[in-house]
Structure 1
Amino acid sequence: MNKIVVIGLGPGAEDALTLGAAKNLREKRKTYLRTEKHPTVSYLKREEIEYETYDKVYDSKEEFEDVYSSIVEDLIEQSDKYGTINYCVPGHPLIAEKTVELLLGAEKEERVELEIVEGLSFIEPVILSMQSDPVEGLKIIDGLDLKNQKVDISVDNLVTQVYNQTKASELKLELSEIYGDEYEVYIIKAAGVPGEEKKIKVPVYELDRLGWIDYLTSIYIPKVQTEDKRVYDFNDLLKIMETLRGEDGCPWDIKQTNESLKKYVIEEAYELVEAIEEDDIDGIVEELGDVLLQVVFHSQIGREEGYFNIWDVIRGISEKMVNRHPHVFGDGVAETDSEVKRVWDDIKASEKEQESHQERLRSVPKVLPALIRSEKVQKRASKCGFDWDDRGGAVEKLREEVEELIQEIDSNGENIDGELGDILFSVVNLSRFLDVDPERALYKSVDKFIDRFSKVEDEVLKSGRKMEDMGLDELDEIWEEVKSGE
């Protein structure tokens, strides 16, 4: 089988070139460089080592994936032609080198044989420049894959391949969301290359304001120090909760149980809804935090009792979202909102082993507010065809229920609450046909009543009287005036 000798050229300094790399470069083989834009290439020129580069491929392709796959295919073709060839890459062949990753895949497919010749990576000179010990925590991130690789604020982060201002801008936006604009990071260029190395400390917002950023540039992000904590992540929240529940923690937090916290889950959810209703952005942020705290709090209790932990919760919801969206994560098809809902409901019923329609109805939680529960039950019943053809049927049913309530009241019957409940149920049904959220509609009516009542009281107080001293007819007259003024 033909062979490709992959040679690491090191971070850039000629002294960092390994003996193995130098030995293989002197072999009389065809030699190819992924890029000629690397300081060590001056050594090849001085030693009169002939080579060809793939720099031209970068200009001919729009996507990096296409560039890398094109290089790999050509390398395999050249090895078929010449037997054994050299392929040189910057740094270490197995660190941040996509073409080598693709070549290793080709080797598994038995398309080519590889020999890896080590080279010093860019990581070592960066560590030397920063005088940091990676044992204390260092995460390496590919600057070309920021969507899939995330920084970790609890350790130092080294972002590679920030080769121009556009990439620096993308990184700036990513980091500003996590660390804030003022957090200071290091820009390091040509680490370990004598006479060319640069290192400066800048706030995140200045990341893309330097004209000398190039293909030898990396960004070093120091970890957030615990003694000066201004940025937190999810692990910090878990640690805080664990401390509060610990031996020297808060007495109130320690005595809580999943049962005792139930009311707080509901309260926090409603406070979040209120913040959303009022379009209070700061409030939304705060209340989302309170809701998240409830998730972490319950999970910490579950962990202590040995039943579950936060990772079980995260795994469960992640698996659920993937499983219930086969049109996104699989080969399913759902092109409209209604199709998505149908797929969701069918998968949900299958997961819960609900074979009959009545099981689906009974599974609607009883603790939900009655209007919301009514709407959910009606929607599930409608899915098997148990529904009016149009809103006309719902209107007639409402009239019928109103008449039955009046008859029950006139006869002093014992089922007034049942008939009143039927009316409310019918109102929810009509709301569904009118595409109106009954909970929201009643919410608005309550607010409207409070506003009008307040205006009535203001008018009464202006007259020097009190509402308690006035008759209903007088108050109703003022009410109608307020209403007409609106």
Structure 2
Amino acid sequence: MCDGERAAGSGAFYDFVETVAALRAPEGGCPWNRAQTHESLTEYLVEEAYEAADAIEARDTRRVEEELGDVLLQVVLQSQIAAEAGEFTIDDVCATVDEKMVRRHPHVFSDAAGGDANEVARLWEQVKLAEKEEAARRASESGRIPSLLDDVPRSFPALLQAQKISRKAAAAGFEWDALDGVWAKVREEEAELREAYAAAPKSEDGRMLRGADATDPLVEAAELEFGDLLFALVNVARHMGIDSESALRRTCAKFRSRWESMEGEARASRTQIDRLTADALEGLWQAAKDREGAEHGSE
């Protein structure tokens, strides 16, 4: 579509596709857009997705609309670059995801029983697992041995990686029978972390010390045990039906809100917040929690 031809579809979406194609046009296009590649746009794709998530959590409808448009821009721009290289088109992208949604929702588009949301999620993972097994079969025929976890990007935030890895492993049968087993794992990992931390060198304030070359096997062991504990807690959340990434983001947002309230109280009393005592800060924190509870009707 970089030659200016009319898109196959119509309406606002294809008007936008044509706009992006014009931005990439060899003659009269935008130099910055023409210079972009799949690789150079990767950081923007991630950034725009996070900004959209932030707008959704803020419940700012107008901003959600705008940020989703920015995400769509990244999808269309990447597709336009691919079309120019003869790789695929935006129509291919839409057709592929449409076919995938139909395949992964047999409870909607076939006779499979869906049940509640949790059962549907398990069915989704099973269908994806079957897809991966088929992909593995094709890959093995070509000489490559793939992994079930290949499609979990290593560039994902660690918490999101843990969540997706644990879901895939569970779908393959590597799973606890009940939540009690996961809590037992949490306690086991906590004990191992405490033991590793006790063995590591520490300063007077309790922070672990690394060697002159910035490494220490005892410190690294404690860090790994901490990671194991976090991973176990991610599995607790998964068994409870909690999205770990969303839950932690909401907690961060709650902390920001309370901290800003504390800063406001400190300014009102003509005091710098970083000069307050620990007891004074705790008092401001409790007051912020109380105001939050009064506004929302709960803690």
TM-score, structure 2 normalization: 0.75
Matched, 1:305 2:77: no
Residues 35-63 of structure 1, C-alpha deviation per residue, up to 9 Å, x if partnerless?
Answer: xxxxxxxxxxxxxxxxxxxxxxxxxxxxx
Partner of 2:16: 237
C-alpha displacement of 1:300 = 1.0
Matching of residue 248 in structure 1 with residue 36 in structure 2: no
- Cα shift at 1:272: 1.9
Distance in 1 (alpha carbons) for counterparts of 2:109 and 2:284: 60
**Residue segments in structure 1 that go unaligned for 5+ positions in a row:** 1-151, 154-231
RMSD: 2.6
The higher radius of gyration belongs to 1
- Kindly provide the amino acid, as one letter, of the partner of residue 455 in structure 1: S
Percent identity (aligned): 41
Matches of 1:327 and 1:462, distance apart in 2: 58
Counting only pairs closer than 5 Å after superposition, residues 337-416 of structure 1 correspond to structure 2 as 337-338=117-118, 340-352=120-132, 353=134, 359-412=147-200, 413-414=218-219, 415-416=221-222
CA, structure 1 residues 277+364, in 2 after alignment: closer, same or farther (shift >3 Å)?
A: same
Is 1:458 paired with 2:264? yes
- Residues in 1 aligned to 2:60 and 2:278: alpha-carbon distance in whole angstroms: 38
Aligned twin of 2:5: none
Deviation per residue, 1:370-425 (Å, 9 max, x gap)? 22221222122223442222222222222222222222222212212111111111
Q: For 2:170 and 2:86, how far apart are their aligned partners in 1?
A: 42
Which amino acid in the other structure matches residue 461 of structure 1? Answer: R
Deviations 1:124-161 (A, max 9, x none): xxxxxxxxxxxxxxxxxxxxxxxxxxxx86xxxxxxxx
Query: Alignment partner for residue 476 of structure 1, among 276, 282, 287?
Result: 282
2-structure distance, mates of 1:435, 1:342: 11
**Residues in 2 aligned to 1:425 and 1:349: alpha-carbon distance in whole angstroms:** 21
Deviations 1:172-218 (A, max 9, x none): xxxxxxxxxxxxxxxxxxxxxxxxxxxxxxxxxxxxxxxxxxxxxxx
Q: What letter is aligned with 2:33?
A: D
Q: SS where residue 147 of structure 2 aligns?
A: helix
User: Counterparts of 2:38 and 2:171 in 1: how far apart (Å)?
Assistant: 35
Structure whose residues are more often helix by fraction: 2
1:318 is matched with which residue: 95, 98, 104? 98
Cα separation, partners in 2 of 1:410 and 1:445, compared to 1, 3 Å: same
Correspondence 1:266 to 2:56: no
TM-score normalised according to structure 1 size: 0.48
Deviation, structure 1 residue 362: 4.0
Other structure's SS at 1:359 match: coil
Find out whether 1:422 has 2:202 as its counterpart: no
Cα deviations across residues 7-57 of structure 1 (Å, max 9, x unaligned)?
Answer: xxxxxxxxxxxxxxxxxxxxxxxxxxxxxxxxxxxxxxxxxxxxxxxxxxx
Q: CA deviation at 1:473?
A: 3.7
Return the alpha-carbon distance in structure 2 between the equivalents of residues 424 and 312 of structure 1.
39
* 1:324 and 1:347 in contact (8 A); partners too: yes
The correspondence for 1:441, drawn from 247, 251, 266, is: 247
Q: Is residue 276 from structure 1 mapped to residue 56 from structure 2 by the alignment?
A: yes
> What is the letter of the counterpart of residue 426 of structure 1?
A
Q: After TM superposition, give the deviation of residue 481 of structure 1 in Å.
A: 4.2
Partner AA of 1:372 in structure 2: L
> C-alpha distance in 1, partners of 2:174/2:269?
56
Helix, strand or coil: the match of 1:478? helix
1:27-106 aligned at under 5 Å gives the runs none
> Match of 1:310, as an amino acid?
I
Alpha-carbon deviation of 1:254? 0.9
Q: Tell me how far 1:334 sits from its aligned partner.
A: 2.5
Contact map agreement 2:197 2:222 (CA 8 A) in 1? yes
Residue identity matched to 1:259: E
Q: Decide whether the 8 Å contact of 1:354 with 1:360 is kept in 2.
A: no
Give the counterpart letter for 1:406 in structure 2.
R
Letter in 1 for 2:22: T
1 or 2, which has the higher strand percentage?
1
Aligned counterparts, 1:171-190, within 5 A: none
